[in-house]
Structure 1
């Protein structure tokens, strides 16, 4: 398994439970959060402030809890990171 810098950041983010201070620190200023059409509040959000306010801020009041539990992380030679989440 790769020890890429991006993989380290993603692990830290998930291990923190997306704690606001960690999330703000690791999200890139040029983040593009592209939500699949058909999913609630789908669309393209630019920057973490936009995604956190206009996607998560609108969506989260509808849920008692929300999250992802990754089983594995993968990084390729171009420093892209993918995760496999628990199914169920």
Structure 2
């Protein structure tokens, strides 16, 4: 079975872009992240999720949201399980895998990411919902 982030022959350009974004976010390749995202992406993180708010622009997303979120955990990763391609909207269904401390077992937290993609194929941002109860129970 292939990795869900691998591109397949039937993937549209927008689906390939969203998959590429997950790959570069995992690698923390800032140059590639900036090439895939629009200049002012919007991260709309569900209220109730840790640091839930609307973040606008690269500085707020990567200098505000992620550092604050990562302060709550020892490790954090997003693992999409399935994609739904709606053209200029791509939905990723999956789970976060988090550990709260070095010795704690990983906890899986379900999420839905709704990604917007512009006419040039750049990702505009995400609307995120997740099972915050699982996050806080970890």
Work out whether the TM-score is over 0.5. Answer: yes
Q: Say whether the 8 Å CA contact 1:70–1:86 is kept in structure 2.
A: yes
> Which 5+ residue runs of structure 2 have no aligned equivalent?
1-7, 97-107, 109-138
Mapped to 1, the partners of 2:70 and 2:81 lie a distance apart of 23
User: Aligned to 2:74, which of 55, 64, 73?
Assistant: 64
Larger Rg: 2
Mapped to 2, the partners of 1:66 and 1:86 lie a distance apart of 10
> How many Å apart are 1:28 and its aligned residue?
1.4
Over 3 Å off, 4+ runs: none
Q: Which has the higher helix share?
A: 1
What is the Cα-based RMSD across aligned positions, in Å?
2.2
> Which 5+ residue runs of structure 1 have no aligned equivalent?
none
Mapped to 2, the partners of 1:31 and 1:71 lie a distance apart of 23
Is 1:5 paired with 2:13?
yes
Tell me how many residue pairs correspond in the alignment: 87
| 1:16-55 map, 5 Å | 16=24, 17-21=26-30, 22-55=32-65
Q: Which has the higher strand share?
A: 2
Does the residue aligned with 2:71 lie in a helix, a strand or coil?
Answer: helix
